[in-house]
Amino acid sequence: MTAEHAEWGDEPLLAMPPLKIRALREAVAVLSPTYLPEFQQEEDEALDWVAENLQPNAVRLFLRKWAVFVAIERRPALARRLRELERVVARSHDPEEIREAGTEIGRLRAEAHREIAGE
């Protein structure tokens, strides 16, 4: 993440990998191995889509989704905060609380996208 997230107080567990299937798979295996089946299923679906439709965008979307996952998960405090916010959205009945949590989730994900883009 960018310098904006010094507030999280933890260093990344690993360097941000390149947007390559193998590199992201290895990072997911280290950071959250329980997500490997989901990663593999989505990888298969993306590659099938490309093969069936000659649409390389499916692979790019797959890579970006998992790069965002890695960018967040490699910082344990940030990953914990995202899970807390997701629980608020899932369980709260207060529209304002849900909106605030959703806004912060969007900000965290946008920051991950900026990191991936090298900004």
Q: What whole-number distance in Å separates Cα of residue 58 and Cα of residue 55?
A: 6
What lies within 8 Å, CB to CB, of 16 at 6+ separation is 67, 70, 71, 74, 115, 116
pTM: 0.70
pLDDT, average across residues 29-34: 95
**Burial level of 28, CB count in 10 A (0-12/13-18/19+)?**
buried
Q: What pLDDT was estimated at residue 1?
A: 41
- Domain extents for the chain? 17-74, 76-119
> If you search the block for the tokens 């989505």, which residue do you land on?
42
pLDDT, average across residues 45-66: 84
Q: How high does pLDDT run on average in the chain?
A: 88
> If you search the block for the tokens 């989704």, which residue do you land on?
65
pLDDT, average across residues 35-61: 87
> If you search the block for the tokens 């970006």, which residue do you land on?
64
